[in-house]
Amino acid sequence: MTRWTPDPTFYPSPREAVAAPAEKLAYVAAFDRTASRPDAIVVLDTDPDSPDYGRVVGWTDLPHLGDELHHFGWNACSSALCPTAPHPHVERRYLIVPGLRSSRIHVIDTRPDPRQPQVVKVIGPEELAKRAGYSRPHTVHCGPDGIYLSALGGADGAEGPGGIAILDHTTFEVRGAWEADRGPQFLAYDLWWHLTQDVLVTSEWGTPSMIEDGIIGELLLGRRYGHAIHFWDLAKRRHVQRVDLGDQYQMPLELRPAHDPTKSYGFVGVVISVEDLSASIWLWHRDGDAWAVTKVIDIPAEPADPGDLPDLLKPFGAVPPLVTDIDLSVDDRFLYVSCWGTGELRQYDVSDPLHPVQTGSVHLGGIVRRTAHPSAPDEALAGGPQMVEVSRDGRRVYVSNSLYGAWDDQFYPDGVGAWLAKLDVDVEAGGLRPDPRFFPHGEEFRGLRVHQTRLQGGDASSDSYCFP
Amino acid sequence: MTATTWATLAALGAFHGLNPAMGWLFAVARGLQERSRTALLRSLPPIAAGHLASVGIVAALVTATRSVTASTALAVVGGVLLVGFGLWRLLSERHFRWAGMRLSAAQLAGWSFLMSSAHGAGLMLLPVLVNEPMPGGHPGHLAAAPVGALPGLAAAGVHTVAVFGTALVVAMLVYQVLGVGVLRRAWFNVDRLWAGVLVAAGLVTLIRA
C-alpha cells in the first residue's frame, strides 16, 4: 500500500538531503568465501547514543549458498520525486541484493523490524538469463521507471556482453535488457547517470571468466580488462559514445556523477596502470557536444621488499594503490578514494573538480603496512579500506575491507579477515579520523567477509536527485 | 450547459492542475535545470495542450454519443467504466513509467497527453457531461454526432484553462517563493484520492442512470 505523504527519506535536491538526520542503522553485505555457509545481510548499530553502537545487532541469512554478495541497493529513492514519472508515495523499504557469483537476486524487506530484515523474494539466475540475457548482477540503482541493475556477464555466465537489466518497481520481476542499441559496448561493471540530462554512464571490468578465478596476469599485462567508459541516451536507451582512457589504464570501475543535477561531470576510479602500477581518478565532462575525460588524480605505487609481497606482486617490487572504490559526498565537495593495496583512504576537496586538493588520509591495513585500528592497536589488519560509503550529511564515512573473494586471496593470501571502520569527517576544514568506538571486526562477522554498506534512509551513492 | 456545470468543470481543472504529477512539477524542474523562469513558462502551454487532447477526446466522444443514443445506456457504460478504472487505480501499485527529461515542446505535449490519459483525467469529466440535460438535439439522428461533440470540446477547453491557470500559479509559487522542499510535506497522495473520487463519481452516475 502506498503512503499518503512522500517517504520522508526522499529529498528533491541534494541540498536538502544534506540536512537529513543521521542514520541509526547500516546494512552490510557479508559473504562466505568457502560457500559452505549462507551469505548474509548484517545490520550494524550506528547510533552513538545506543549501548550497541558499533556492534552487529541484526543478521539475515540468505536461503542458498555461494551467492557472493557484493553490491546492493534500495527499491526506491529520491528519484521517485522526479517529475516525469513521480511516485513519491512508495516506501524506501526493500533492499535489492544480487549474488555476484550465483546470479540470484534477493529482495529483502526491512520492515517491520529494520534490525531483522526478511528475505521476501528470490529471483533465480535462469529468470535473469531468460528475460534479460544477463548474469552476474552487480550495481543496483533506483531509476524513475524501474530498478536498473548492471550485470557483468551474458546469459551463459562466462562471457559477455554484460549490460543492464530492468526490474519492475513493484513486483521486482525482471522486465528485460535495458539496451536498445549497445553499440561497441561489451564489458560491464558500474552504471549511474545524469538523470535530468538523459545521460547514462557505464564502466568496464571484465567478463565472468576474466575475474571469477582471480585476476589473470596475462590478461592484465595484455591490457585486456576494461579501459573505457560509455555514455548512453537514457531516454532512447542507445549507446552514444565510447571514451577510451588508454589501454594502460586497466579497470575503470566506480562511477560517481555530481549529485547536483545541473552539473555535467563525474569521477571514475581506475584500479591500475600497467605501465607503473599507479592508480588514477578521472573526471568526465562535456567537451562541446561530446564527452571527454581528464585525469585529475594520480596515485603512485609504493616500492616494497619483494619478500613482503604476495606472489602476484613479487616481480614488480612495489605495492599498487589499487583504487577499487570511490565515493562523492552528497554536496559534491569531498571525494573519497580507497587505496585497497596500500591500505589508505584519501579525502580530496573537489569543489573545483578539475583540480582536486588532498585534504585527508587515514591508513588502515595494506598489503605491506598492515596498519592497525586505534581501538585495537596490537592487531595488524589485512585488507584495506575498500567499499566506502558516506552519510548524507557528509560527516561519517564507513569503509569495509573485502574486495572480491578470489582477488582477496591473491593480494592478501594469508587471509583478508573482516573489518569495518567508521571515520569522522571535519566537514568545514576537511580531514578525517577513525572513530575509536566503531570497529566491528573478526568474530563479530562470524567468519564472513564484508563488502558494501548501505545506510538506513539513504547515503551518498544510493540516491539521485532531479532538482538542484 | 449550466453555470454549475461550467464551475464544476473548472473546479476539476483546478484539481488536476494542482497535482504535481500532471505537469507543473515538470515545468518547475525544467526551469530549475536551465536556471530560467522562461523555460518554466514555456513548458506550460505544451503540457496544457497535451491535457486538452486527453480530456477533449473523452469529452467529445461522450457528448457526441449522447446526441445519438439513449443517455441511460451511456450513463451505465460510463459509470461502469469509471468504477472499474477507479478501482484499478486504487488497487494497482503500478505507476506511470517514463525515462527522459529533455523533451521538445511536441514531446512535452505527448508526455502530458499520456500522463493525463493514464490518470483518467478525461473520465473525470464523464459524470458532469452525462448528467447534463440534452440541449434540444435530435436523439437518434446520426448527423447530430459531429455537432454533438462541440459541447464536449467546449467543456474540455474550459477545464483545460483551469488546469493551466492553476498549474501556472502553483509552479510560479514553488519556483519563486516556496522551493521544491515543500514537496516533502505538501505532496499529498492525490492519486489515491483521485481513484476514490473516480469510483464515487462512477457510482453516482450509475445511481442516477
Q: Is residue A185 part of a domain?
A: yes
Per the structure block, which three cell numbers stand in for B124? 473525470
Q: What's the pLDDT band for A231 if we cut at 50, 70, 90?
A: very high
- Would you say residue B145 has pLDDT above 70? no
Q: Which residue has the higher pLDDT, B208 or A237?
A: A237
Alpha helices in A275-346 (DSSP H): none
Boundaries of domain holding A183: 84-89+124-455
| Number of structural domains chain B divides into | 1
- Report if residue A101 sits inside a domain: no
Nearest CB to A3 within list B33, B183, B189? B189
> How far apart are the C-alpha atoms of B172 and B40, rounded to whole Å?
8
Nearest to B101 among A1, A86, A198 (CB): A198
Predicted model pTM:
0.95
- For position B92, what pLDDT does the model report? 79
Interface probe for B, chosen from A75, A90, A467 (most Cβ of B below 10 Å), is A467
Yes or no, beta carbons of A144 and B98 under 8 Å apart: yes
- Yes or no: say if B23 and B46 are a contact pair by the CB < 8 Å rule: no
**Nearest CA-CA distance, residue A49 and chain B, Å:** 28
Identify which of B161, B183, B201, B134 has the alpha carbon closest to the alpha carbon of residue A87: B183
Which residue of A16, A81, A84 is the best one to mutate when testing the B interface, meaning the one whose CB has the most B CBs within 10 A? A84
Q: Which amino acid is at A122?
A: V
Q: Each residue of B30-85: pLDDT tens digit? A: 999 999 999 999 999 999 999 999 999 988 888 888 777 777 888 888 888 888 88
Q: Which residues pair with B108 in a beta bridge?
A: none
Answer whether residue A38 is part of any domain.
no
Q: How many residues does chain B have?
A: 209
Question: Which domain, by its residues, includes B18?
Answer: 3-208
Query: Nearest chain A Cα to B193, which residue?
Result: A4
Q: Which CATH number covers residue A425?
A: 2.130.10
Q: Which of B29, B35, B102 sits opposite A466 (nearest CB)?
A: B29
- The domain tally of chain A equals 1
Domain membership of residue A4 (yes or no) is: no
The per-residue pLDDT for range A187-225, each reduced to its tens digit, is 999 999 999 999 999 999 999 999 999 999 999 999 999
- Chain-centroid distance, C-alpha B2: 20
CB contact under 8 A, B25 and A11: no
CB contact under 8 A, B102 and A16: no
| Phi and psi at residue B133, to the nearest 5° | -65, 145
For A268-289, what is the mean pLDDT? 97
